[in-house]
Chains A and B, each alone.
Chain A
Amino acid sequence: MKQPLSLHINDEIHELNLAPNKTLLEVLREELDLTGTKEVCLLGSCGACTVLVDNRPMLSCATLAVACKDKKITTIEGVKDGNDLHPLQQSFVEKGAVQCGYCTPGMILSGKALLDENPNPTKAEAAEAIAGNLCRCTGYAQIIDAIVSAPEIADSKSTKTQHETLAGTLDSGPYLMPETGE
């Protein structure tokens, strides 16, 4: 029943051998270990599984992987620009748009699809763009904020690499080596 299939995901070609009943979500999470895309309702009603297919936001739980063979898929793992956070990711961090983080990948992809098409959205447009993504933690306000503020961050080129953002303040200088014995 399995058939060969090549999928173009995050600028990489994956050669797979798949049964046709696999959804894109299943393939991402279970075959390719791209677990950033989340599985929640499997009914098309929560948006946690959102990915970009040819740059448009779609629900990977309601998409057959076999139907994606000539399409370009972007998951949350492919949003970063090398080691740099995408301005929208940076904006989510800065605006407090992340609480538990389970809705976040889907939110970012819906937000990115909007920004790619409309670089300076209003708050209402941002809310519309994520109207298919549920979030129980935040009440959405900071997520909407993060989307409309992303262009500013992009302009100021203040995005950090993932590593920089994680680094603490390194107090350089010699350690006084432990005295031995007493």
Chain B
Amino acid sequence: MTRSNEFAVIGKTTSKTDAIAKVTGDARFATDIYLKNMLWARVMRSTVAHARIISINTEKAKNLDGVKAVLTSADMPDGKYGALVLDMGVFAQDKVRYIGEAVAAVAAVDEKTAARAVELIEVEYEELLAVFDPLEAMQPEAPVIHDDLAAYTTLFERTERAMTGNVNYQSNINTGDIEAGFAAADFIFEDTYEVQKQHPSYMEPNSTVADVDETGRLIIYNTTQRPHINQAILSSLLGIPISKIRVMPCHVGGGFGGKNRTLTEPTAAALALKTRQPVRLTFSHEEEFTSATTRHSGVLKMKTGVKKDGTLIASDVKLYYDCGAYAPTPNAVWLGAISSSGAYKIPNSRVEAFSIYTNKMMGGAFRGYGAPQANFARESQMDRIARELNIDPIELRLKNCLVAGDSLHTGQKLHSVRVKETLEKARDMVAWQSPKLAPNRALGVACGIFACGGFATSSIVKLNMDGTASVATGAMDMGQGLRTVMGQITAEELGISSDDVNVVIGDTDLTPFDVGIFGDRGTHTTGLAVKKAAEDAKIQLLEAAADAMEVDVSALEIKDKKVFDKSSDNRFLHFRELLGGGQYKKGGPIIGKASINPTEQPFDTNIVQGAASKMFSTYTFATHIVETEIDAKTGEVKVIKATAVHDCGTVINPAGLKGQIIGGLTTGLGYALFEDVIIEDGQVKNPSFLECRMPTAVDIPEVEFATVDEFDSRGPFGAKGVGNVSVINMAPAIANAVDAALGVRIKSLPITPGKILQGLEERAN
């Protein structure tokens, strides 16, 4: 079904348009912006986990030579911000809720002075009891972290538990008849899983340079996944109209969801407005680990009813995601809820999903958003079921997996599902017979589902006089290759080469709205808007040609930057002939535009309560099989090889796809084995790349990958996403391999040698 051979540009590797600037060191990132008279900002941060602020004295700091401004919440308009729960001020308001929370900020002539000034700020706290465990935080007697929670503005339908106690978000899925389902089950499996915090670890720190131009407009150079939302948040927080704010993102040194945030922008902007000088705020490496966001840690309870033959019949899941002291993206647990049924058809399913405040650094978006946690639970338990029922793990999965036409437990009917084919192909690629290969070698399998696409975006395609084109979208490229893919889509639609397309992204003065790049929406949703905008431009071009050639539009076709009269081979006009005049044609220059806000297949509100979004456009699937070597003496796990098969629809850029799959897999490997943000009494013990260990080049397995043929009719040229689902299978696949090799089931991440040895010991006793 892959149609890539029908395309001229789609499906061919196109070198990334920004790669040259990046290999020469010419690419400017936000951290590379140094403006004349630029001031340096530093943030003063809470040293306690939970406290009422009695007083803040900034006098000494203000009087220090070289200090140009000091701000606290008293200097800011009252507002709070957030994506779904508006719960956070730019600076702590009345209370601090985690170690590392911003209390005040300073702008000074150099970094040293700024740092010195921060030391001079005196804060008096009245310490309050803190709570660090999400389950404890749910108890009625737990300290309340946000006192007036119920009064906060929220942008989702509140269920009964939402915005009570320390629960900031809650959603439910109820499909079928859960009691009857369990009654009909022959076996019931019940497990509790625990997952740790993982830091996104983009290499480039959060950074903003804010400038005020000669007209008084605020100019923001930053590193972000969502410039237009940044602009809107700055407008509402600072009380200035959007027309007076220009967000101009630079090259982004990685985001992975972690930069779907507004962290440095408001502080830098407020300081710049106050001083009328450019202000730079870059997070220190430590601040990245104390005051940015991580993947949510949490506890997952999963109870599953199975028939003797392995048919899944009932599932009862409770998800408790720890979102830390504020909830910039509490709906991670909603994505977790969706993914918690796995890529399976389970007729009777109940999910209760909670996002819970604790006095810790914030949980936020990170590649795989909510799903790696849930998939670890689901796919670990699937293997346990397979083992107990003595069914081959792949067989069990094949027996239960979703196929096109099935409904997900949310009630959404699925139109594009090839998980079965990913399982079969992966099985064949590794010549799977049984998971155990030798006493210390085993295979582990996991498959998974991830929600793809949705939310508002738009695009403009402008044709130039010579037949080249410019496409503009407010979406961002954090390295995943959005620029290249949007260029390819535009080129394909217009019948020109991708070299002929200039892609403009991000800059809010030049691009139309996009909500931000997350949730596999880049290629899919932004891609769709770009395709439609290009289509619109093409239609206008054809209309202009029809006028000029005095034929009907239907008589025309486009080839090689020419418009042909189909009835006669030698009647044609060059694009450049048309477009020269076209700039002044009736109805204005040729500018195609389109916006998208997908609404197809909304969730069934009888089944789903408290959903943080109305729908997702489609779903992507993948199966990963790892071959591992496990030393029973030392507990060390070595992943020798990973085989990945993806259902991502049409492949638009093969080299980009490879990078997305292997990159995701490596992040998944880190999640499975090494990475953990360790928090002790609210303080991060290992705030650095040295101690929060992302895999290095000598830690990675050999990777073989493939895709299955699929054409998603809702995506641009049949494409879906790939960036997220590539992360979610490694942890369960490795846990399954460990179990296959040693008979030790690890139910908490990371899978450490110590846990394996302990498991072996327990088994021996």
Mark A residues whose CB is within 8 Å of B. Answer: 29-30, 33-46, 48, 75-77, 79-80, 85, 89-90, 92-96, 98-105, 108, 127-128, 130-144, 162, 165-171, 173-180, 182
Contacts and interface: CB of A to CB of B under 8 A. Distances in A.
B25 A142 contact: no
Contacts of B724: none
A100 B254 contact: yes
Most chain A Cβ neighbours within 10 Å, of B580, B581, B663, B690:
B663
Given A95-B655, A105-B25, A162-B20, A40 B205 contact: yes
Given A85-B24, A139-B703, 5 more contacts: A80-B24, A85-B23, A96-B13, A136-B202, A137-B659
Contacts of B586: 182
Among all A-B residue pairs, the 10 with the closest Cβ atoms: A36-B25, A100-B479, A101-B22, A102-B253, A96-B655, A139-B666, A76-B25, A139-B662, A99-B479, A168-B499
B497 interface: yes
Interface of B: 13, 15-16, 18-29, 31-32, 34, 200-205, 251-256, 285, 465-468, 478-481, 497, 499-500, 561, 574-581, 583-584, 586, 655-656, 658-659, 662-667, 688-690, 694-698, 700, 703
A175 B655 contact: no
Contacts of B698: 127-128, 131
B254 A137 contact: yes
B471 to A, nearest CB: 14
B561 A98 contact: no
A75 B34 contact: no
Contact of B577 (A80, A90, A130, A176): A176
9 contacts: A46-B203, A128-B698, A171-B575, A175-B466, A175-B576, A176-B577, A177-B580, A178-B584, A179-B584
Contacts of A175: 465-466, 576-577, 579-580
A143 B15 contact: no
Contacts of A136: 200-203, 254, 256, 663, 667, 694
A178 B588 CA distance: 12
Contacts of A29: 32
Contacts of A140: 662, 666, 696-697, 700
Contacts of B202: 100, 102, 136
A100 B255 CA distance: 9
B24 A134 contact: no
B26 to A, nearest CB: 7
A138 B662 contact: yes
Nearest to A36: B25
B22 A176 contact: no
Contact of A178 (B28, B583, B694): B583
Contact of A171 (B31, B256, B574): B574
Contacts of A36: 24-26
A135 to B, nearest CB: 7
Contacts of B25: 34-37, 75-77, 79, 105
Contacts of B480: 99, 137
A33 B28 CA distance: 11
B203 A38 contact: yes
A25 to B, nearest CB: 12
B interface majority secondary structure: loop
B697 A127 contact: yes
A167 B499 contact: yes
B479 A101 contact: yes
B697 A144 contact: yes
A interface majority secondary structure: loop
A142 B700 CA distance: 12
B694 A43 contact: no
A43 B689 CA distance: 9
A21 to B, nearest CB: 10
Most chain A Cβ neighbours within 10 Å, of B32, B202, B479, B586:
B479
A109 B465 CA distance: 42
A45 B583 CA distance: 54
Contacts of B203: 38, 40, 46, 48, 100, 102-103, 134-136
Contacts of B26: 36
A68 to B, nearest CB: 19
Contacts of B688: 41, 43, 45
Nearest to A124: B698
Nearest to A179: B581
B663 A102 contact: no
B253 A100 contact: yes
Nearest to B367: A136
A70 B468 CA distance: 51
A162 B25 CA distance: 12
Contacts of A143: 697
A45 B203 CA distance: 12
A99 B255 CA distance: 11
A104 B696 contact: no
B24 A137 contact: no
Most chain B Cβ neighbours within 10 Å, of A33, A79, A92, A137:
A137
Nearest to B642: A139
B251 to A, nearest CB: 6
Given A102-B29, A142-B655, A173 B499 contact: no
A149 B671 CA distance: 30
Nearest to B25: A36
Nearest to B582: A178
A77 B25 CA distance: 6
B499 A171 contact: no
Nearest to B200: A136
Contacts of A46: 203, 689
A92 B19 contact: yes
Contacts of B466: 170-171, 175
A109 to B, nearest CB: 10
A18 B205 CA distance: 27
Nearest to B16: A98
Given A138-B663, A142-B655, A162 B251 contact: no
B285 A41 contact: yes
Contacts of A44: 690
B461 to A, nearest CB: 16
A44 B690 CA distance: 8
A38 B32 CA distance: 9
A65 B561 CA distance: 55
Contact of B659 (A103, A142, A180, A182): A142
Nearest to A29: B32
A43 B703 contact: no
Most chain A Cβ neighbours within 10 Å, of B203, B252, B656, B703:
B203
Contacts of A96: 13, 15-16, 655-656, 658-659
Contacts of B479: 98-102, 137
Contacts of B577: 175-176
B13 A77 contact: no
Contacts of B576: 171, 173-176
Nearest to A123: B702
Nearest to B500: A168
B558 to A, nearest CB: 14
A99 B581 contact: no
Given A77-B25, A177-B580, A99 B663 contact: yes
B286 to A, nearest CB: 10
